[in-house]
Amino acid sequence: MAKHYQVLIIGGGTAGIMTAAQLIKQRGVDNIAIVEPADTHYYQPAWTLVGAGTYSFEKTAKPMVSVIPKGVQWIKDKATGFHPEKNTVHTEKSDDITYDYLVVAPGITYDFSLVPGLGDAIDKGVVCSTYTDPKHTWQVIKSFKGGTALFTQPATPIKCGGAPQKIMYLAESHFKKRGVRSKTDVVFATVGTVIFGIKEIAETLMHVVDRKDINLRFNHKLVEVDAEKQIAWYELTKDVPMGGCVIMSDDDEEKCIDETFQYNYKNVKVTKKDNRYGIHYDMLHTAPPSVAPEFVRKSSLVNEAGWVDVDIHTMQHKKYGNIFSLGDVAGLPTAKTGAAIRKQVPVVVDNIDLLMKQNSMSNKSYNGYSSCPLVTDYGKMVLAEFDYSGSFTPDPKLKRLLIKDSSKEHWRLWILKKFMLPYLYWNKMLKGVDV
């Protein structure tokens, strides 16, 4: 006979643990289970710092059993599918599990087929990613001896969209410290059209780019990686205007630059083949292409884009009223960050609590708040905070840290990132305390 729980949570990451902790601690719900196969829970926001050699990887990991809230049943298994009409979740090894309320928060997974060649190349040799192996990233940065240092990202949604450039700023500083910067071209190739979507933050980051002499290449969609020849292949997502040109390699006879494609041009080696442009690299850092886990993508819970189809303000599923989703897997038009989850959890918890007690929904509404701590150097950081409207929305609590303007680089924001946020995460957020 299937086991039954009042609240069943899929995923023991930030979203799943925080939701369980607040339901049990703040609302007294005592029949909760979490389905999670992993033995270890990671604080991934610190992996950028690990990749830059300024944080211990071991400090980012704790046994899963130590973060599962007391009183919550841990089902150490993989969810494999849903039968929402019967309030049932299928699992790999256990029997089916039934629920009154379901919270879908398994995070994201990586689909390397979206960028052929990357799966075989990543975390080997000079190809690295702080998302998958920050220790290898540090080895690559530490042993880099000059040439083209290429930082890039796929066209899919990724965790913390600013992470691929954070590690670049830190790597550039490390190259300078080690005396290899003068022999190095730092290139950032992105499918985007600007360095960052929030105007105030973009202005600051362009100053950082100028200071660090970084070449930006916009409208560059990563489509393949040739690890053997050390070439990252791109398609341009914007047509080159009639009579216009983009400097891409030594072979170009005309020397002209379209700044919607290039900013601060550097003459790095590029091969053109058909409609693709291959940037030759001596080291490559990228984020992996990210999608919802397969058991979610193949379910009836997702929207056309393959993310869980929820109301963007209540986190309630659009079709199944007793299902909620939050965190990276939810179909929300905002950045996939732990800061977003911090604001989503209280809304989900309030809604489930009120549905249980009064069969009504909360008047709490999630406004799309997310934040991206953009480390710009060792000891400096900018904090990009924004909502669904794309407005810059700094947290008033920052005033307590004597930070007047978080869109500007500040050493106190670095202290927040390196010391205060990890402490709050392990000791408050995962324990069900509002922060």
User: Which amino acids are annotated catalytic?
Assistant: 160, 372
Q: In this structure, are residues 257 and 177 in contact, taking their beta carbons and an 8 Å threshold?
A: no
**Euclidean distance between CA atoms 340 and 152, whole angstroms:** 24
The CA distance from 176 to 178, in Å, is 5
| Helix, strand or coil, per DSSP, at residue 364 | coil
Distances 334 to 286, 330, 340 between C-alpha atoms, Å:
21, 10, 8
**Residue indicated by tokens 């960028």:** 115
Question: Checking DSSP bridges between strand 3-10 and strand 97-104, what pairing results, if any?
Answer: parallel
> Cα(15)–Cα(9) distance, rounded to whole angstroms?
9
Instruction: Copy the structure tokens of residue 360.
Output: 């009504």
Q: How far is CA 131 from CA 21, 119, 287, in A?
A: 26, 13, 6
- Phi, psi at residue 113, to the nearest 5°? -65, -20
Q: Are 326 and 15 in contact (CB under 8 A)?
A: yes
Torsion sign over Cα 21, 23, 28, 29: negative
Query: Contact at 8 Å (CB) between 280 and 147?
Result: no
